[in-house]
Structures are given as C-alpha cells and as structure tokens.
A and B are shown apart, each in its own frame.
Chain A
Amino acid sequence: MLGDSRKAQEVFQTTLREAALRAAHGELPNERFWLFREARWRCLEASETDLKAEPLEMEEHEINSGASSQIEGLKPAQLAIWISSAPDPQRTALALYYLAEFDYREVLDLAELKLNELSHLLLLGRRQLQAWLNSHAC
C-alpha cells in the first residue's frame, strides 16, 4: 500500500496501538475487518503527505502467455512500489487481492467496492502491469 517498509511499519504499529487502546476501553468495534480497514485508511492518509507523481495515462496490454516468467524477473520491492503508486481504490484492490488471504467478497467489503468495480480495477491493473513489464523488458 505504501511501497515503503518503514512507513508500513509505522502504520502497523499505530493501528495496533489504536486497537489496544480501544480494547482497553472496551470500545473495539465488533467488525470483522476493522483492523484492516483502519490500517488501509492510515496508509491512505500517510501517502497523502507524500510527493505525488503527476497522473499520467498508463499504457495497457493484453496478458502474455509468458507473463509469469516476466514477473519472476522482477524484484519484490519493484512490484510493491508499482502497486503503491496506483491510485486508490485500485491500489487497495490490488494489494488485498494479491495478498491472497481474502476471498473476493472480503475484498469487496474491505475496499468498499462493488463486484463490477473490483473486476474492472483488477483487469485494468493486470493490463497496465503487463504493459509496464513489456516496456521494462525492452
């Protein structure tokens, strides 16, 4: 979500501190994904203060049959930065989906999206990442 492990750690700790405080006061919301929702908003707040690249039209390309080997050539940090630079809610959708810990209904709930919106954001993300991979390979 942030593309920066130091910032991610800060958000994680702040979120846990908030949860501990609420739990101590008996005010922990009875909501299944509260912690993730809270962390997401804190990530979005934290990235608001960052320098932002000018929005530009991203190229898109159909997924190649050999895309998986192209992805294997990437470094994890490169992918993290690529996802974190996506505008929200696409960033949240990609981060939650590729974490592979939630099913699509949970992602819809957490990202506050509808099915067609999530589907569109993922399709767009794949096509843009493919185009980026293609340009990266050149």
Chain B
Amino acid sequence: MKTPRLSRKQRALASCAPITGEQTPDRRMRSAMVRASGSDEFVNQQDFDRAVAALVQAVPVPPEIVEWLTVKDLVLSPKRTWRKTVRNPAVLAIGIALVVITGVLVFHFIGRLNDFPGSGTARKLLTMAGSTRSVLLDPVNADAGTLSDLFFMKHGLEHYDVPPEFADLRTIGCRVFEDEESRRIAQIWVADKRMQFFLFPEERDAKTGAVLGFQGWRYIHQEGWVGAVTERNGVCFMAALRGRESDLAPYLAQKE
C-alpha cells in the first residue's frame, strides 16, 4: 500500500485518531485521517487501537458503579457564552438581517413622520420639477401673486393663490395640466433661483369628502430637490428648488 506524505501535524493528529471510526466534527482530524488512511502503518494502528479499546471495555467494573452513572452523565454540558452564541454564523446572519430590517423600518418611520396630507403628490411634482424645461410653459412675465386671476378666469381654478411669501417674485411662465388622477395642477416658473411653484388640490377624506388640511409650512425632499408646502382653502402650494431647506427658509421667514 502506498504511504502518503503527511505533515508533522497531520502525523500527530493521525496518531490520536478516533478509535470507534465514527465521523469526527474536527475538519483537521478528518483531513489527517483521509490522508493517512492509505498507509499500512495507519491501518495497523487502527486495528491495534480497536483491539485495545475492546479489551478496555471488557475490564470488569463493579456493578454498583455501573448502576450509579454513565460517563456521559459525568460530563457537564458546555455552557454557551454570549461570545460563542454571537459568533455562530446562523445567529450572526439573523442578527444582520434584523439590523437591516430595523434600519429599513426606522427609515420608513422617519419618512412617515414628515408626511402630511398631499405629501405624496408633492413628491411626484418635485420629481417632475427636475425634468421640466421652461419652454414647456406659456411665457408670462408678471408678479407670481397676480396669476391667481389668470388661473381663475382662464382655467376656472378657484383659490389657486400664490402665498404672500412668494407673491412678489417675477414669473417666466406657467401652465395648467392634469396628473394621472385627473387633478388639475398649476405650475409656475420663477426667475429667482430657477424656482418653480406648484398649486394642486389638497387630499380629501374618502368617506366625508372633507379637506385633509394642515397648518403652516412643511418641507419635503426628493432627488436633490426641496419643497416647502402649505395648504389654504383646500389647495396646496409648493415652492420647489434644487438645493436645501436653508435656500427656501429666507422666503418663508420674510412674511412671518
């Protein structure tokens, strides 16, 4: 039989190989046994060990001791420490998954904290603001506050008023269009900071039809754009620009 080359450590392990021949959980031992299994020396050793172990089993043990306990009863089960438990790959994987799920839930929860009636529509319009070109709008050079009359007379839109905070800004153009839910939305382009205004109907209660209003100004963010939204007389107004809240804050502070 061919004698395989074993490292010093593998030779040491092979000489301590389990006698019973049962599968050992120790990977290094399994590897050493597989490599050594081709040699006569190892085969002789295993036969020798099995014969000695069988003889050891035959050593008479007083019956009163046999009745007492078996070897397995005398071995305390190993105590699982926190460190061992945490290092278990299954526990580690579950832990990471829980952290990720918690992170997503927290992210959504924080997002929901800033939600208000009409925030969904406002976000969609913010996305649209990023892709709108001024050539799509009808050119109008006037104060933004004066467009309420235009919206009312030309399009029949009531209460589509630009709040006083933004009423003095000069406009470049405007348009009225319908979104996918057939709601009529007014869009105004302003020269100052390439800002855009949106006026759209506020959400209503599905059962009562009452307007779900809110007080003051609310900020929303979407793809690098920021919007300041307020609601008056069932119509939401949003001032949107590419930038941060601090870019819009001075306008809101003016009239407060």
Q: Which residues of A contact B (CB under 8 A)?
A: 5, 9, 12, 16, 30-36, 63-65, 67-69, 71-72, 74, 76-77, 79-80, 97-101, 103-105, 107, 115-116, 118-119, 122-123, 126, 129-130
With A32-B75, A68-B50 given, name 6 new contacts (CB 8 A).
A9-B64, A12-B68, A65-B44, A68-B47, A80-B56, A122-B15
Decide yes or no whether B11 CB sits under 8 A from chain A. yes
**CB closest chain-B residue, reference A119:** B12
Complex contacts, B79 vs chain A, CB 8 Å: 30
Task: Give the size of the chain B interface in residues (CB under 8 angstroms).
Answer: 45
The stretch of B19-27, B157-165, B201-209 in contact with A is B19-27
Most chain B beta carbons < 10 A, residue from A16, A74, A104? A104
Knowing A9-B62, A104-B16, A122-B16, the reply to whether A67 touches B74 (Cβ < 8 A) is: no
Whole-angstrom distance between the alpha carbons of A126 and B50 in the complex? 12
Residues of B within 8 A of A33 (CB): 75-76
Looking across the interface, which residue of chain A has its beta carbon closest to that of B73? Answer: A35
A98 vs B111: C-alpha distance in the bound complex, in angstroms?
A: 67
Assuming the A-B contacts A68-B51, A116-B12, are A98 and B19 also in contact, with contact meaning beta carbons closer than 8 angstroms in the complex? yes
The residue of chain A having its C-beta at the shortest distance from the C-beta of B24 within the complex is A103
Q: Is the CB of B48 within 8 A of A126?
A: yes
| Shortest beta-carbon distance from A100 to chain B in Å | 5
Assess the B71–A67 pair: CB atoms within 8 A. no
- Residues A115 and B44 in contact in the complex (CB < 8 Å), given A30-B76, A99-B56: no
Listed A/B pairs (28) with beta-carbon separation below 8 Å: A9-B64, A12-B65, A32-B75, A65-B40, A68-B47, A68-B48, A71-B55, A72-B54, A72-B55, A76-B58, A77-B59, A77-B60, A80-B56, A97-B16, A97-B19, A98-B49, A100-B19, A104-B13, A104-B16, A104-B17, A104-B29, A115-B13, A115-B16, A118-B16, A119-B13, A119-B16, A122-B15, A129-B52
In this complex, what residue of B is CB-closest to A123?
B15
Q: Which residue of A9, A30, A98, A119 is within 8 Å of B52 (Cβ)?
A: A98
Contact, CB under 8 Å: B9 / A5 = no
Pairwise interchain contact B48-A67, C-beta atoms closer than 8 A = yes
Q: Is the CB of B18 within 8 A of A103?
A: yes
Whether, in the assembled complex, B53 has its beta carbon less than 8 Å from a beta carbon of chain A, the answer is yes
The B4-44 residues at the A interface (CB cut-off 8 A) are: 8-9, 11-13, 15-20, 24, 26, 29, 40-41, 44
Q: Are the C-beta atoms of A32 and B78 separated by less than 8 Å? A: yes
A76 touches B55 (CB 8 A): yes
Closest 5 CB pairs of A and B: A119-B12, A68-B51, A104-B16, A71-B51, A76-B59
Partner of A98, one of B13, B24, B41, B53: B53
